[in-house]
Structure 1
């Protein structure tokens, strides 16, 4: 398998998941700013016409896109690692619930803060939404190590990735110390450290 990624982007989530799962894979960096070229010179649009990461290329050439789908696929390839509950269980749907929430309510609200063309009104609205959503997440994490309790799942890989963006857009998380503690807890995991180093995000 090959993961197409951009450093620190949402592709960090499946990168972490692949390492947590102990699977064999390669990576190829994508320059999303300058023509969407991969590091080997391939036009990324020929791999993922949507034009954004992550994209996971399977051995047979099939390309899977959308982070929430990719991380569940990865989890199901290594069920012994317990990165997602078994299919059909309520707990699995709860992980899917978290993935949907992170994607729609956190990830998307960061987008205006990264976009240079966003108006100040759009940025203020995004910050207001993020404050409400992070307060909700902090409440859920107040008495548990991870989103699903004591077990790290692919939802945590995604939340950790999104939380890491706060520093880049000067979004202050200090009102929720539990989120800072959670970030440190996830960051200390060996697979997370390995992914961060591989993407040049950690020396």
Structure 2
């Protein structure tokens, strides 16, 4: 299979400092993974897009896996979800969380990055492990803390699995009629189920 590099030109002017160079590499990596996927994005291509030598990318991140993990955690697309969990109680969290999650998938910048995360998780075992660890740290743990009731970790897992499943069917696989359904209609259908996972009685508990 032919590998596609991420190409680009560095803007004129002085080369940025260490911090600026690292940020430029991360930005190029985020674009690369979002546009081309995990497998087709290369160290050489990211270096070209950032205007640096490939050896410098390896110096900062060690490997493509290290670069993927850093790009995933730098300004993560799920950041708004964590902020939302601190805004208000849990009584209507199902609706607020569902709406914001779908909005992120439909966002011009966040949508492609979420798509890259899901596709990256299925591209290789190492990428899958990094996505799993990131989701546990950045999404599941804050959600469990926000729920704060019995079996909070299980409730967070069920909520995340339900939302991810719907997003995968709607935005990745484009399953109809779900893919074409109005977002607010999806929220109306999905939010009560999410709320039940968060605060309702769990069978057998």
Tell me the TM-score normalized by structure 2: 0.31
Name the structure with the higher strand share.
1
Name the structure with the higher helix share.
2
Q: Which has the higher contact order (CA 8 A, sep 6+)?
A: 1
Tell me the TM-score normalized by structure 1: 0.32
